[in-house]
Structure 1
Amino acid sequence: MENVSNKFKLNSAMRKQAVRPKTGFWLVVLGAALWGADPLFRIILLREQITPTQIVLLEHIIIALFVAPMLWKHRSELKGLKLRHIGALLFLSWGGSAIATILFTLGLTHGNLNAVLLLQKLQPIFAILMARVLLKEKLPKKFGWLLIMALAGTYLLTFGFSFPFGHVNDFVKVGSLLSLGAAALWGGSTVMGRLMVGKMEYETVTSLRFILALPLLIVITINQGDPWHVPSGAGTFAAVTINLLGQALLPGLFSLMVYYKGLTTTKASVATLAELSFPMVGVLINWIAFHELVKFHQICGFVLIWAVLFIISRRSAKEA
């Protein structure tokens, strides 16, 4: 009878372990989907003459107040950190949380909103390249051809079916370049996040991501010297405050908590497909809130990039 009980417990534990990756996948989907709501808050704040750097700084101050007790609770995990862990945390906070968010916010002020959002699907490509350089992971088979396909999709998202060989401003689209910079930094942050989630609890990684970014953001904001525009009317001030809180807590803190929790049990190749919820929700919100319709060349570009990610995911799953 005892053997039957032990077998039942073992089978129950195995079923729970089998369910966890599925749960992790949907947590990644939810976390990435919440990022899609980010432009809704940022664009409203930008209209109130708050600069991108000021928005990101205020966002991090609000989040830091919420995560500071969490970091204090897990402070014992800071012991024994090696230089590579410190470097990964600085990349996560300075690159992925501070600079990338500033670039993304700036990108929203230049060019097509949907292009800025959809270009974020290049993040996994940057993540794969950085994993190859830093973690010595093997590149997927025929990655060169897949990279060309992804670049073709990027071209369609940025320029459409035209040939931008006229004026330099037609060739270099500021919004797209800023979005690509953010995608590169966020793609690298995925690699660093996977490294740190294996070392620390996901709550600690999330806390350090925002708190360590604060000194850099303060220096950048002071160096820029832009004046602070405080809304004069009570209604406007309340609207700005609500938007700041909503942006910081929903697509900011809560989304990353959910995302990192899901990432602990989800393979990077599977998480890549789960993150497709980010641009899709963002484009949907742009359509509903800002009447920004998706153009045919953007759909074509997105399909090309999605196809590349799908092929990479399938090959990674077979090699696992």
Structure 2
Amino acid sequence: MTTPYRAADRTWLVAVAASLWGLSALWRGPLAQELPALTIVFWEHLLLSVAVSPWLVPAVRRLRTARPRTVASVVVIGAGSSALATVLFTAAFRMGDPITPQVLQKLQPLLAVALAAVLLGERLRPVYAAFLLPALVGAWLLAFPQPTHVTVASAQAALLALGAAALWAAGTVLGRGASAELGFRDLAALRFSIGLLTLGVVVALTGTSLEITAAAVPSLLLLALVPGLAAMVLYYLALGRTPASRATLAELAFPLTAALVGVVAFHTRPSATQWLGIAVVLASVVALALHEQRSTTPAVRVRIPSRTGRAG
């Protein structure tokens, strides 16, 4: 029994997908210094929408028969969790370093637990504070090289990254609810398409230029296809055969790769307290995930959708 299970386990593939996420700074960082965040994210969504376009028509058909709550969730996921969150995340690269926005993104599971209590009516237990408070301390240490000296630029970068993490966490929670009626392909196609429409409206209202240089095209393609589409597909292929506790550990490849890219490619030198902050954030997230999987009294009592085989 043990041998077939180990053969089917795809923890290694989760690590590969997470490593691809960590490469995002290679292209997003330089682009953010040259182009408006809105321009970058618009082209990113356009490329992703084209890539998943074969899934769109069936997705729209299923959405038309879905409950109003599912429709509303999909709109929020596309407009907020996809479009606005990615704009905030990209803007954080212009104001901060290449490492901090990506590691702060790892606060997403902690935020998702809290949002599940608010949005899905799931019960939040006091033990949750034991994971949240250390993570907040770690986030503070990470965001500010000198923890007792907060600059406007570092505060803005941290708030933008945290805003993105909160919106992505909301997308996770709402996606879990919507997955009762829609499959992963449906959610992916609708997420990127609604996000693209939202960005188009914002571009028109703000008069933001969509002009890009020929030199930016390869970076935009790689940004959309590698940490975007390829990582997403690999992650969901792996998740079906990977225990959640192992997947969480494998996802540490994301911030570790992001830190390596920042140090090697961009010559970023985190302070000692920032390295401590990285360690505290990651330890808090892993501890929460292991607690939720193994404890008989999890931090949040989760209500599972009726069609649990589909990932949100």
TM-score, normalisation: structure 2: 0.84
Consecutive aligned runs of 4 or more in structure 1 exceeding 6 Å deviation:
14-19
Which residue does the alignment assign to 1:41? 27
**What does residue 47 of structure 2 align with?**
62
Q: Which moved more, 1:287-296 or 1:263-272?
A: 263-272
For structure 1, which segment, 64-73 or 50-59, has the greater mean C-alpha deviation from structure 2 after superposition?
A: 64-73
**Corresponding position of 2:293:** 317
* Percent sequence identity over aligned pairs: 33
Query: Structure 2: how far apart are the matches of 1:276 and 1:133?
Result: 27
Letter in structure 1 aligned against 2:276 = C
Listed as ranges, the matches of 1:130-209 within 5 Å are: 130-139=115-124, 142-164=127-149, 169=152, 173-209=155-191
Of the structure 1 ranges 276-285 and 72-81, higher mean CA displacement relative to structure 2 is found in: 72-81
Shift of 1:29: 3.1
Equivalence for 2:273: 297
Distance 1:229 1:211 in 2: 21
State whether structure 2 residue 293 is matched by structure 1 residue 308: no
Q: Give the Å deviation of 1:18.
A: 7.7
1:186-230 superposed Cα distances (whole Å, 9 cap, x missing partner): 122222233334433322221111011112101111222233444
Q: Secondary structure at the match of 2:148?
A: coil
For 1:193, give the aligned amino acid.
G
Distance 2:242 2:176 in 1: 10
CA distance in 2: counterparts of 1:164 and 1:116, whole angstroms: 19
* Residue 271 of structure 1, CA deviation: 4.4
- d(CA) in 2 for partners of 1:196, 1:28: 23
1:37-87, Cα deviation, whole Å (9 max, x unpaired): 11211223234x321101100111111112111223555533531122112
The answer to whether the 8 Å contact 1:202/1:261 transfers is no
Aligned length: 296
> Deviation at 1:311?
2.3
Amino acid at match of 1:54: T
**Residue 77 of structure 2 is aligned to residue 92 of structure 1:** yes
Classify 1:75/1:99 alpha carbon distance in 2 versus 1 (closer, same or farther; 3 Å): closer
**Structure 2 runs not aligned, ≥5 long:** 297-312
- Separation of aligned partners in 2, 1:73 and 1:137: 31
Deviation at 1:175, TM superposition (A): 0.7
**RMSD (CA atoms):** 2.7
Q: Which amino acid aligns with 1:124?
A: P
Q: Is the 8 A contact 1:100 1:185 kept in 2?
A: yes
In 1: Cα distance, 2:241 partner to 2:171 partner: 17
Residue of structure 2 equivalent to 1:8: none
User: Any idea what SS the aligned residue of 1:113 has?
Assistant: coil
Q: 1:227 aligns with which of 204, 209, 219?
A: 209
Structure 2: distance between partners of 1:268 and 1:89: 24
Is 2:85–2:163's contact at 8 Å kept on the other side of the alignment? yes
Q: What is the alpha-carbon distance in structure 2 between the residues aligned to residue 124 and residue 104 of structure 1? A: 16
Contact 1:194 1:263 in 2 (8 A): no
Q: C-alpha separation between the residues in 2 aligned to 1:135 and 1:227?
A: 39
Contact 2:39 2:209 in 1 (8 A): no
Cα gap change, 1:228 to 1:243, in 2 (>3 Å) = same
- Structure 2 residue identity aligned to 1:305: V
- Report if the CA contact (8 A) 1:132-1:138 is conserved: yes
Q: Is the 8 A contact 2:175 2:187 kept in 1?
A: yes
Pick the aligned partner of 2:109 from 102, 111, 124.
124
Q: Pick from 263, 286, 289: which aligns with 1:287?
A: 263
CA contact (8 A) 1:33 1:277 kept: yes
Look up the equivalent residue of 1:39 and give its one-letter code: A
> What is the rounded CA distance, in whole Å, between the counterparts of 2:155 and 2:261 in structure 1?
23
